[in-house]
Structures are given as C-alpha cells and as structure tokens.
Amino acid sequence: MRSMWARPVTKIAASAALVLLMLLLPLLNISIPGVFPGPTYTPGTLQLLAYAMLIAALALSYHLLFGLAGMLSFGHALFFAAGAYGLGIVLRNFSPSWLPAGATFVAAILITVLIGFVLAALVGSVSLRVTGISFAMVTLAFAQAGSVVVRRNPGGQTGGEEGLTLDVSHVPDDLVGVLNTRNLYWLSLAVLVIVYLVVLWVEKSRAGHVVAATRENELRVRVIGIRPYLVRLLIFAIAGALAALAGAAFLLLQSGVSPRVATPDFTLTLLVIVVLGGVGLRWGAVLGAIVYTLLDQRLTALAGSEFIAGLPDLLRIPLSQPLFILGTLFILVVLFLPGGLAGLTKRSGRPHRPSRRGRERMLEAEEI
Amino acid sequence: MSTIVLLLITGLGLGALYFLVASGLSLIYGLMGVLNFAHGSFLTIGAFIGWEVARRLSDGSWWALAAAMLTGAVVGALVAAATEFFLIRRLYNRHIEQVLVTVGLALASVALFEGIWGTDPTYVTSPSWLGQTTEILGARIPNNRFMLIVVAVLVLVAIVLFLKFTRYGLIIRAGVENRLMVTALGIDVRRAFTLVFAIGGAAAGLGGVLASIYYGYVSAHIGGSLLIFAFIVTVIGGLGSLAGAAIASVLVAVLQQFANFYLGGTGDLAVVLALAAVLLLRPRGLLGAKV
C-alpha cells in the first residue's frame, strides 16, 4: 500500500492534469483517426466520449463490489437501469409547484440516487445471505426480474420494449439537444469524477478496509468480532447508488433509455470491462471502460465497412460481430493477462506485482 | 379442474427443459465448483446443428427428429468437452477466472451464432403429432409436453444409473463429496471433469433440440434465456445435487405456469420471489450439502 501512495503529490497533480485535459477537450480540435469518429469538438465524438465516461463511472461502482469487496455480482445492471428509468419516471411524475424548475431537476436526481441506494439495500439484504457462486446466481435472478418488469411496462411507466424517452419539461435547457452535447459531456465528466472520489473515499474508509479484509479472509474478520454482512450490505448499497447516478446521467445523455441496459447481458459487459482493465484497480476500471467503449464503437463501424463485406464467409461472419471479437479478447485476457490492461502498463515499473496480486485477489475471493 | 391439469402438465414439460439444462450445471458445479455461463451456448449450438440435420434429412419425420436429438446431444457433448479441455482446465482451481472464461465464451458464441444463423428466430417443423393435443381429464395438452417429460425422465434415469453403477460414476460421486480425498487415493479426477462436462453438454444439447420444439423456433438467445432459470433451479435445488435439480425444476416450472395464469403473467417474478424465500429460509437449497 505504501509504495502505491509513495508520492501522493505527483499522483494528485497527474490526476488533476488529466481531468483538466478532459475538461478542455470540447474546446480543442484534436483528431485521432481510427479512435474517434471526428475532431474532439464535434457532437459525435463528445457523445461517444461522454458515453465512455459514464460506462467508466458504472465500472468504477462495479469495482467497489468485485474489485474491493470480492463480491461477484451479476445484477449490477439493475441499479444502472433503476437510475436511468428512475430519473425518467421521477421527472415525468414529480413536479411540485413550490419548487423552482432547476431545484426540481436536482431533487429528481437526488431521489433517483436514493432509489438506487434503497433498491440495492433491499436486493443486497436477501442476496448477501449467500456468498460466492450462489450470490452470483441470486443477483443474476434479481437482475432478470428487473429486466422482466421493465419490459412488461407496468402502468405505462417504462415504455416496454420501446424504452422510455426523456421528458424535458423539467430539464434545464442547457442539457437538451445535440447543440448542448458539450454540456452533457461536462456533466458526464463530473459524474465520473464524483464517482471516482466516492469510490476512493469508500476504499480508504473503515468500511472499505473491513470489506477488503473480508475479501481476503472472512473467518479472520469474524474472529475479530466484526459482522461482514452489514459492511458488505453498505458497500453493495453505495455501489447501487453510484450506478443509479451513472444511469441518471445516461438518461440525460441519450435523452432516453432502452430495456437493453436492464438485461443481465449488460452486467456481463460490465464484468468484461472491469476484468479487461484490471481487477482491483480503480484506474483499471476506468481504462477498461474507455477501451471497451471505443473498441465496441470502432468494431461496429468496421463491421459495416466494405472491406469486411468483401471477405469470405469464414472471416466475414466472426469479424462482423463486435461482441465475438470482444468476447474472444476477454477470454485471452483472462487466460494470459490476469492483471488486465492496467497490469500491463504497470508491469514495466514493478515487475509482475499487480498481475500476481490480481490473481491472488481472485483466488481469495472464491474462497469466501 | 381441466385448467389445473393443463397447467400442471405444461409445467412438467417446461420443468423437463429446465432439468436438462440444470442437471449438467449442477453436476459441473458439484464436482468442479465451476459456474458454467457457457452452458446456454451448448444448448443453442445443439439446437442449431440438430435443426440443420433434421432439415437436410427430411422435414418433420420422426426419424429426422431422432437424428436431430442424437446430433444435438453429440454436438453438445463435444463442444462442452472441448470447452473443458481448452479453457477450463488451464485455470484449474481458479474458480472466479473459470466463471469469467465461460462468460466470455457465452458472449462470443452468442455473437457468432447471430453471425451465422442471423438474429431472427428460425422456425422449425416437427412431426405433426407433436403439434396436436391430447385430452386428459378435459384438458387439451400439447403432445410435445409429453415427449419433453419422457425424454427428461429418461435422461434422469440414465444419469442416475451411470452415477450409481459405473466406475466413472463412482469417481464423480466421490469427487462431489470430497475431491481432495479422491485425488489423494491416486485417481485422476481431471478425466472425470471432462466427462462431467460432456454429460452436461449432451443433456444441454438434447435440451436444445427439445427447446426448439417447445418454442417452435431456434434463436441465438434460446440458451441464454433458459440458462437463467436453470441457475435459479440449481440454487433452489441445492448446488451439486441432481435430485435437488430434478425436484426444483418441476417446482419452479409449475409455479411459473400457475403464476402466469392466475396472477396475470407474473411467472418470472414469482420464481425470483421463490428463490428469495428459499434463500431466506434455507440458504443451501432443498437438497444441498451443508456449506
């Protein structure tokens, strides 16, 4: 732990510089062909980057569960969907006359985050009664139930298969429309920074230490006289609230949400992102999300290109399916690169340490 | 009365499908501690290849169906054994990573199936008798439900006989009980791992062909949707217990049918609630070993 924070000043300075660069990006004209669809100030690129940052925020909240607490949840998409659908439903139904328009919007977001927290606390209180693989299956079942509810369109609120469109009557004008993509980009960046700071704070808090200790050796923690259940539940609920925040921003960014985000497959994508980036590392989750989102976008663009269409079937079919390539890449990372992408970059400085640590964490997590 | 009989027997038919998926899952988990997310893909590939075979032989005859079922089982077994051999074995005893590999395989294979067979469901033709109904106590029951039940019972009996009366069955049973002890006695459990995967894959592949008859179509997502219920079944039945999986399959499917009919299509939710209830009252499942 010591070596990681050996020079906190440089770390903070580097992080601040990166955030500053991200802040200025919409004002700059940087083109990276093959990575971005256009120069950085265009709405298309900003939309993609904002999307990637929200996925990064979501991956960070998942990192709290999987990386920090060693809880392999397959139901995290539920809380992201709760945030996206929750904000949409709250904005449509919640318009008290005594609140000014701007305050209504802020209140709606706070209510949404609270919904995420309470929902996660409820789901967690049941599913945390079991651990390990059973926990994974139970969270998957809850996510599936959520997905079913969303598709069933109860009371005409979620819009069923067609999804929900954002009701903009209470949303500030600066956050509506393609012309304001820049503002939405900044909003997404803010969400990512907030989620990052909360995750950092939780990791450094007493609860974070307890839950990390539980990941390593639950029996030991019990012997000391701490009940892991409540601490795990707290972490689960915080992760749910953060996911709901990311989901709420997602609704604003996309000005709508489809039932796809409620499916268990979406959680699997999240798992892929966290492992791809490097389990147990905050930067890993962010890096994994950005790389995954950009890869997904570029591969989809590639799949529709004429180059692919001209290939023989044996090459064309696999290459035209982005998820096939990403899934294969994921398998290769799990088999040959246990520390993920973040482990790869760290390897040069401190040989093998992160990868071994990541591997040990996985080993420990399964024994809990 | 006739409605109850109808719901019971359709529930049994659906339970048969769940069992074909859950039996393999439960055995694999019991012996190796692997939660196999790729199990749905074994089912889907069995369904697709089985359909391709039946289509080429002759459409809708009984013996084309038998060939499809056989092919589905064989393909499922081969794919499952290959998965174990090339992916799972490399990560011996690293359970979380094994889960991750099967997740990757599930994502990649579903995408590949979509690439090959398209995203739209492919409709299958089966022998005409299966599309008709039989009247029992005033209830008109689709005939394919009977076939599902019969096949699932046969599979259950076959697996039980195999586990009880063969040497490999003995090793597998002993391995579920205490893997370390079996290894200490000088028996190579890894061969049993491949075998269990093959058996589970065969049951899933067979289940795939039957699922295509039950639903009337094959799609790349047919395995994934069944897999979630199979997971629930294995948890309710108790991880690693074959009998538990059989009982829970029937309970879950019948509950689902009744809730769908009497409580306005809330079957899926009722199943999840049942799961929550079982976890609260008996976290190890109906017949699961003590954790």
Between residues A338 and B208, the one the model is more confident about: B208
Closest partner residue to A141 (CB to CB) among B91, B265, B272 is: B272
Nearest by CB to residue A317, choosing from B33, B96, B116, is: B116
For A148, which residue in chain B has the nearest alpha carbon?
B268
ipTM of this complex: 0.84
Is B235–A137 a contact, with Cβ atoms under 8 angstroms apart?
yes
The shortest C-alpha distance from B129 to chain A (Å) reads 33
pLDDT top residue among A299 and A111: A111
With an 8 Å Cβ cutoff, are A268 and B107 in contact?
yes
Q: Tens digit of pLDDT for each residue in A53-100?
A: 999 999 999 999 998 988 889 889 999 999 999 999 998 887 777 777
Digit-coded pLDDT (tens) for A167-176: 777 777 777 7
What are the structural domain ranges in chain B? 2-220
Instruction: Choose between A346 and A116: higher pLDDT.
Output: A116
* A226 secondary structure, DSSP code: -
Q: Which of A138, A324, A335 is closest, CB to CB, to B235?
A: A138
Q: What is the greatest pairwise CA distance in chain B? A: 59
Determine the pLDDT at residue B289.
Answer: 67
The Cα B76–Cα B64 span in angstroms is: 18
Note whether A326 contacts B107, CB cutoff 8 Å.
yes
Kindly report the number of other CB atoms within 10 A of residue B209's CB atom: 34
Q: What is the pTM of this model?
A: 0.84
How many angstroms separate the CA atoms of A157 and A66, rounded? 32
Helix axes B143-165, B2-32, angle to 10 degrees: 30
**By C-alpha distance, which of B203, B202, B213 is closest to B148?**
B213
**What span, in angstroms and rounded, lies between the C-alpha atoms of A65 and A31?**
36
Pick the residue from chain B with its C-alpha nearest to A333.
Answer: B101
Interchain CB distance below 8 Å, A320 and B115: yes
pLDDT digits (tens, 9 = 90+) for B201-248: 999 999 999 999 888 888 888 888 888 889 889 888 888 788 889 999
Which whole-number Å values give the CA distances from B222 to B61, B208, B246, in the listed order?
23, 8, 21
pLDDT tier for residue B72 given thresholds of 50, 70 and 90 = very high
> Is pLDDT of A202 > 90?
yes
Interchain proximity A327–B116, CB inside 8 Å: no
Ranges A108-122, A143-157, A308-322, B55-69: which has the least confidence: A308-322
Helices A282-303 and A322-336 cross at an angle (nearest 10°) of 140
Q: Is pLDDT of A223 > 70?
A: yes
Domain boundaries, chain A: 11-367
Query: Which residues in chain A are closer than 8 Å to B224, comparing Cβ atoms?
Result: 265
Among the ranges given (A185-189, A302-306, B166-170), the one the predictor scored with the smallest mean pLDDT: A302-306
CB B223 within 8 A of CB B36: no
Residue A355: per-residue pLDDT: 53
| Confidence class for position A360, pLDDT limits 50, 70, 90 | low
User: Residue A2: its pLDDT value, please?
Assistant: 47
Dihedrals phi, psi of A257, to nearest 5 degrees: -150, 140
Q: How far apart are CA A227 and CA A238, in angstroms?
A: 18
pLDDT confidence of residue A345: 65
Q: Report CB contact under 8 Å: A138, B91.
A: no
In the structure, what pLDDT confidence band is assigned to residue A42 with cuts at 50, 70 and 90?
confident
The answer to whether B104 contacts A72, with C-beta atoms less than 8 Å apart, is: no
Burial (Cβ within 10 Å: 0-12, 13-18, ≥19) of residue B60: middle
φ/ψ (deg, to 5) at B240:
90, -5
Highest mean pLDDT among A272-281, B30-39, B106-115, B136-145: B106-115
Best of B107, B271, B291 to substitute, by most chain A Cβ atoms within 10 angstroms, is B107
Local confidence band at A367 (pLDDT 50, 70, 90 cut-offs):
low
Residue B97 to residue A137, Cβ atoms within 8 A: no
Residues B284, B281: Cα–Cα separation, whole Å = 9
| DSSP states along B214-250 | HHSEE-TTHHHHHHHHHHHHHHHH-TT-HHHHHHHHH
pLDDT confidence band for A236 (50 / 70 / 90): very high
Mean pLDDT confidence for B53-58: 82
Gap from B42 CA to chain A (nearest CA, Å): 16
Distance between A82 CA and the closest CA of chain B, angstroms: 17
- How many Å lie between the alpha carbon of A249 and the closest alpha carbon of chain B? 27
User: What would the mean pLDDT of A19-35 be, rounded to a whole number?
Assistant: 79
Question: Which chain B residues are Cβ-neighbours of A327 within 8 angstroms?
Answer: 104-109, 111
Alpha carbon of B116: minimum distance to chain A alpha carbons (Å): 6
* Cα–Cα separations (whole angstroms), residue A322 to A116, A326, B117: 31, 6, 16
Q: Are strands A256-257 and B122-123 parallel, antiparallel or unpaired?
A: unpaired
Asked whether residue A308 carries a pLDDT value surpassing 50, the answer given is yes
pLDDT digits (tens, 9 = 90+) for B189-205: 888 888 989 999 999 99
Spelled out in words, what is the top-level CATH class assigned to the domain A11-367?
mainly alpha
Question: Where does the pLDDT of residue B253 fall: very low under 50, low under 70, confident under 90, or very high at 90 and above?
Answer: very high
Alpha-carbon distance A64 to A208, whole Å? Answer: 9
- Phi then psi for residue B218, to 5 deg, are -120, 140
Alpha-helix residue ranges (DSSP H) falling in chain A: 8-24, 43-63, 77-93, 101-127, 132-152, 181-204, 206-216, 218-224, 228-254, 264-277, 282-303, 306-309, 313-319, 322-336, 340-347, 353-367
What pLDDT was estimated at residue A312? 75
Pick from B104, B110, B271: which is nearest to A330 by CB?
B104
Distance from CA of B6 to the nearest CA of A (A): 25
- The span from the CA of A105 to the CA of A91, in Å, is 7
Count of CA atoms in the C-beta half-sphere (13 A) of B187: 19
The position carrying tokens 């994974």 is A136
Distance from CA of A29 to the nearest CA of B (A): 36
Is B100 in Cβ contact with A275 (below 8 Å)?
Answer: yes
Q: Tell me whether residues A328 and B104 touch, CB distance under 8 A.
A: yes
Among A134, A148, A260, A273, the strongest candidate for a mutation testing the B interface, having the largest count of B CBs within 10 A, is A134
Chain B: residue nearest A326 by CA? B108
Of A141, A324, A359, the CB nearest to B111: A324
List chain A residues with CB under 8 Å of B283: 129-130, 134
Residue A97 in tokens: 């006359």
Which helix (H) or strand (E) element contains residue B185?
A: none
Name the residue of chain B whose CA is nearest to A315's CA.
Answer: B115
* Residue % of chain A over a pLDDT of 70: 91
Of the residues A366, A367, A368, the best mutation for testing chain B's interface (the one with the most B CB atoms within 10 Å of its CB) is A366
| pLDDT band at residue A350 under the 50/70/90 scheme | very low
Helix (H, G, I), strand (E, B), or coil: what is residue A13?
A: helix
3-class SS string, A50-79:
HHHHHHHHHHHHHHHHHHHCCCCCCCCHHH
| CB contact at 8 A, A245 and A86 | no
pLDDT at A353: 45
When CB atoms are compared, the residue of B100, B234, B275 closest to A334 is B100
Determine contact, residues B206/B20, Cβ cutoff 8 Å: yes
Interface residues of chain A, partner chain B, Cβ below 8 Å: 72, 126-127, 129-130, 133-134, 136-138, 140-142, 144-145, 148-149, 152, 264-265, 268-269, 271-272, 275, 317-318, 320-324, 326-328, 330-331, 334-335, 338, 359, 362-363, 365-366
Higher pLDDT, A173 or A248: A248
Question: Taking 60 as the threshold, does the pLDDT of residue A336 lie above it?
Answer: yes
Query: Per the structure block, which two tokens stand in for A260?
Result: 């796809």
Residue A318: list chain B partners with CB under 8 A. 112, 115
